[in-house]
Amino acid sequence: MFTTRNFTQLAATAAMLIPTFISSPTLLAGANLIKNGDFVQVGLSGNPLTVNQPGKQEVESAARYWIQGKLVDGSTVTTQIEPMPNSPMNKFHITTDAGPIPGGGAGNGVYQVFAPVNCATLSYWYKIGWGEFTGDLVYQAGDFVSHPKFQASDGAWRQYIHFVSGATPMSELAFESLDPPAHNKPIEYWLWDVQVQPCTAGAVPVWKDLSQYLLVDPFYYQKNPGAPVVKIRVINQSNVTLQGPFHLMLEGMPAQRSLINPDGTFQTTQFVTLNAATLAPGQAEDVTLTFDADPQGRVPDFRPVVKSGLLR
């Protein structure tokens, strides 16, 4: 995984049910910093739009205000706005036949620059047809805040949420292709309902650490150079019923490693959200964590900690 961006230096369910978002009192209502995050406005060059000229090329995409970047020589990037069933919003379809620049660096994709903020919550829905991509907030210095990796799984829409607050301002949201699969099928994914909402400076959501109530037991490891796996059993060992939502945090994980398809990131800590809304005494839930490729097939070191709370 690349650690420095050079993309730009500028300052759901399988049944297609439409989700409902819950606003947080720390967020400024209606203050989405992203323009055309619902993808209803067509870009100036029309829809769809393919970029395939030699060399680096950055133009407005098929979606207004979103920049479409082709950075890998000999590659092609196509963007298209498509209707989203049962929603006034559209979905944004991105296809490319290349991963990152050879030797490390940014990948083909789309991005949007916004007014700098130090505290924000990012949220978007995604669906993957094939391949792997990353998408997250970007510091003004040009580095991704974190590097989540998303890969095709069951073809369903999934939501990703990231809360971040700190001294370094963020001024961009970027989506970039990662290493394509060996059989060279194009990387293909869709985005829907993209939001970056500023929050009150330093307003960090309070999540309750449930370590005194829960036993967190990693009980299965599978070494795999392509996708190492660990299974963790979360058991309520107290005599009280606990209220969720519950988030299994992967604290202390090396910055160069990533979960595949995390549900979100809190500051720089990736997490997955348990299915259970409550956990009764003795109740357990098993969680399977899949990680990005490692030559030795190793699961990265991390501390599994379950917390409860809301991001928005």
Binned at pLDDT 50, 70 and 90, residue 10 comes out as very low
CATH number at residue 95: 2.60.120.260
Please indicate, yes or no, whether residues 151 and 246 belong to a single structural domain of this protein. Answer: no
Question: In terms of residue numbers, what domain contains 91?
Answer: 49-198
Distance from C-alpha of 86 to C-alpha of 227, rounded to nearest angstrom = 35
Q: What is the pLDDT of residues 94-106, one digit of tens each?
A: 999 988 887 667 7
Task: Give the pLDDT band (50/70/90) at residue 204.
Answer: confident
- Residue at a domain's end among 198, 228, 251: 198
- Mean pLDDT for 273-302 is 95
Check residue 279 and give its pLDDT. 97
Do residues 81 and 64 lie in contact, with contact meaning Cβ atoms separated by under 8 Å? Answer: no
Structure token digits, residue 178 = 């990662």
Would 107 be classed as within a structural domain? Answer: yes
- Please, are residues 112 and 172 in contact by the beta-carbon 8 Å criterion? yes
The whole-number pLDDT of residue 283 equals: 97
Q: Are 7 and 109 in contact (CB under 8 A)?
A: yes
pLDDT (average), residues 289-301: 93
> How many of the other CB atoms lie within 10 Å of CB of 83?
11
In the structure encoding, which two tokens stand for residue 193, read together? 């309902």
141 with 106, same domain? yes
Q: How far apart are the first and last CA of the chain?
A: 29
The answer to whether residue 8 is domain-embedded is no
Structure tokens at 159: 């939501």
CATH number, domain of 242, equals 2.60.40.290
Q: Which of 264, 295, 120, 143 is nearest to 203 (CA)?
A: 120
Mean pLDDT of the chain: 87
pLDDT category at 181 given cuts 50, 70, 90 is low
Looking at the structure, do residues 80 and 219 belong to the same domain, yes or no? no
The domain boundary residue, chosen from 198, 228, 248: 198
pLDDT number for residue 87: 94
Query: Do the domain assignments include residue 131?
Result: yes
Shared domain check, 102 and 234: no
180-202: average pLDDT:
84
Does residue 243 sit within a domain?
A: yes
Residues with Cβ within 8 Å of residue 183, at least 6 apart in sequence: none
Q: What is the pLDDT of residues 97-136, one digit of tens each?
A: 988 887 667 799 999 999 999 999 999 999 999 999 999 9
**Pair (178, 215) in one structural domain:** no
Average pLDDT over residues 258-285: 96
Residues 6, 26: Cα–Cα separation, whole Å: 32
User: Residue range 236-265: average pLDDT?
Assistant: 95
Closest CA to 253 of 41, 53, 85, 1: 1
Q: Which of residues 8 and 65 earns the better pLDDT score?
A: 65
Q: What is the 3-state secondary structure (H, E, C) of the chain?
A: CCCCCCCCCCCCCCCCCCCCCCCCCCECCCCCCCCCCCCCCECCCCCCEEECCCCCEEEECCECCCEEEECCCCCCEEEEEEECCCCCCEEEEEEECCCECCCCCCECEEEEEEEEEEEEEEEEEEEEEECEEEEEEEECCCCECCCCEEECCCCCCEEEEEEEEEEEEEEEEEEEECCCCCCCCCEEEEEEEEEEEEECCCCCCCCEECCCCEEEEEEEEECCCCCCEEEEEEEECCCCCEECCEEEEEECCCCCCCEECCCEEECCEEEEECCCCEECCCCEEEEEEEECCCCCCCCCCCEEEEEECCCC
Q: Quick check: is 12 in a domain?
A: no
pLDDT: is 20 or 246 the higher one? 246
Same domain, 186 and 216: no
Any idea which of 1-10, 23-32, 250-259, 282-291 has the lowest mean pLDDT?
Answer: 1-10
Residue 42 lies in a domain: no
Asked whether residue 82 is domain-assigned, the answer is yes
pLDDT confidence bin for 183, thresholds 50/70/90: low
pLDDT at 158 exceeding the cut of 90: yes
Q: How far apart are CA 186 and CA 94, in angstroms?
A: 10
Q: Which of 167, 198, 229 is the last residue of a domain?
A: 198
Q: Has residue 8 got a pLDDT over 80?
A: no
Cβ within 8 Å of residue 15, ≥6 positions away: none
Q: Is residue 113 domain-shared with residue 193, that is, in the same domain?
A: yes
Band the pLDDT of 153: cuts 50, 70, 90.
Answer: confident
Q: What is the pLDDT of residue 312?
A: 60
194 and 64 belong to one structural domain: yes
Q: Is 107 left (phi over 0), alpha (psi -120 to 50) or beta?
A: beta
Sequence-distant (≥ 6) Cβ neighbours of residue 182 within 8 angstroms: none
pLDDT-based confidence at residue 19 (cuts at 50, 70, 90) = very low
Count up the domains in the chain and report the number.
2
35: in domain = no
175 and 239 in a single domain? The answer is no
* Per-residue pLDDT, 33: 97
Q: Is the pLDDT of residue 17 over 80?
A: no
**169 or 24, higher pLDDT:** 169
Q: Are residues 303 and 163 in the same domain?
A: no
pLDDT above 90 coverage of the chain, percent: 72
258/213 same-domain check: yes
Q: What is the pLDDT of residues 29-83, one digit of tens each?
A: 458 999 999 999 999 999 999 999 888 999 999 999 999 999 988 899 999 999 9
- Report the pLDDT value the prediction gives residue 5, as an integer from 0 to 100: 46
Rounded Cα–Cα distance for residues 77 and 113 (Å): 19
Whole-number pLDDT of residue 179: 77
The reply to whether 54 and 194 lie within a common domain is yes
